[in-house]
Amino acid sequence: MQPPLPWPAEAIWEAVVPRLPGFTVEVLPEIDSTNTELMRRLREGRADPVLLVAERQTAGRGRRGRGWVSSAGDSLTFSLGLTLAPAGWSGLSLAVGVAVAEALGPGIGLKWPNDLWIEGRKLAGILVETATVSAAVPASDSTLARYTVVGIGINIAPRPAMPDQDIAPAALCELWPQAEAPATLERIALPLVHALQSFARDGFAPFQKAFDARDLLRGRSVTLSDGTTGTAAGVDRTGALLVHTAAGLQLVSSSEVSVRPAP
Ligand code: BTN
């Protein structure tokens, strides 16, 4: 059994709480999934802003119903839950991807909508889930306000490919040999909160340029999940992927659409 990691919970709390009153930081040795846990708490009426870190997830969840596999010590898995009331939700997960990539530094690309990659391999994934909040929010905001759970999983140390993967995922220690989960979390937490608050105020547009700078698909041949092929041409102000196809420019806005570079 590994000793608990030295999580910088207090430093993160001190940095974030002035921006997010009522904010708390919680580290659990084990949970099924940090996203699932925050959604469970919401159903019990707990909608406070919280950063929930798990040293181990037994049922980590990924996008499109997939699992997210990670092991204690070799990865960073956490969810930030907070209430947001943006004018629109489109582009939120891309803005999160931009914030995390920028917090981690150069050498990290973004594969639409929000995967972080290093040299052709996935480094990190983001799962954003939202649910309505009721009584806690003033009536004028209540139609738009949603409790938002931003779940992030980052590979810190290398691990072998899973049976359903062709190649092993990337790991942060390829960029920083000394990378560790606690310091990585400290680097990300405040920029992530800033990004979410900026998104709630101004939407995705202010993130578009930074996304472009890290966009791994631009100019690449892509195949949409309906079989259409085309060339990726960046994202628009709402975060929709632009794809030049034989039928003209197509906007791909659903995060349920799988886009992969064509072989
Ligand atoms: C993906 O790329 O498919 C998204 C992966 C998201 C994984 C993180 S780990 C912390 C949080 N809890 C979960 O169950 N999932 C997210």
Q: Residue 261: its pLDDT value, please?
A: 58
- Of 259, 242, 260, the C-alpha closest to 251 is 242
User: In this structure, which long-range contacts are made by residues 221-229, counting pairs with CB atoms below 8 Å and at least 24 apart in sequence?
Assistant: 221/261, 221/262, 222/259, 222/260, 222/261, 222/262, 223/259, 223/260, 223/262, 224/250, 224/252, 224/257, 224/258, 224/259, 225/257, 225/258, 225/259, 226/257, 229/262
Size (the chain), residues: 263
H or E element at residue 246: none
Amino acid residing at 210: A
R_g over Cα of the chain? 18
Q: How far is the CA of 245 from the centre of ligand 1 (A)?
A: 31
Instruction: Record the tokens describing residue 151, joined without a space.
Output: 């779940």
Atom of ligand 1 nearest to the CA of 62: 3
Q: Residue 139: its pLDDT value, please?
A: 47
Best mutation site among 27, 63, 116, 152 for ligand 1, i.e. most ligand atoms within 8 A of its Cβ? 152
> For this structure, is 122 an active site residue?
yes
Best mutation site among 28, 32, 35, 184 for ligand 1, i.e. most ligand atoms within 8 A of its Cβ? 35
Helix (H, G, I), strand (E, B) or coil at 36: helix
From CA 218, how far away is CA 225, in angstroms rounded? 18
Q: Residue 25: its pLDDT value, please?
A: 98
Q: Residue 262: its pLDDT value, please?
A: 53
Terminal CA-CA length for the chain: 43
Burial class (CB in 10 A: 0-12, 13-18, 19+), 98: buried
- Of 227, 151, 233, 222, the C-alpha closest to 192 is 151
Is the pTM higher than 0.85? The answer reads: yes
- Of 167, 17, 189, 23, the C-alpha closest to 104 is 189
Instruction: Record the tokens describing residue 204, joined without a space.
Output: 């995705």
Q: Residue 140: its pLDDT value, please?
A: 54
Q: Print pLDDT tens along the chain (263 aa).
A: 566 789 999 999 999 999 999 999 999 999 999 999 999 999 999 999 999 999 999 999 999 888 998 888 799 999 999 999 999 999 999 999 999 999 999 999 999 998 999 999 999 999 999 999 865 555 455 557 999 999 999 999 998 777 777 788 999 999 999 999 999 999 999 999 999 999 999 999 999 999 999 999 999 998 887 888 899 999 999 999 999 999 999 999 865 456 665 55
Question: Which residue shows structure tokens 């997210």?
Answer: 68
From CA 110, how far away is CA 32, in angstroms rounded? 27
Contact call for residues 154 and 172 (beta carbons, < 8 A): yes
Q: How far is the CA of 57 from the centre of ligand 1 (A)?
A: 10
Pairing mode of beta strands 50-54, 24-28 = parallel
Q: Residue 228: its pLDDT value, please?
A: 86
CB within 8 A of 201, min separation 6: which ones? 86
Atom of ligand 1 nearest to the CA of 64: 3
Q: Residue 256: its pLDDT value, please?
A: 45
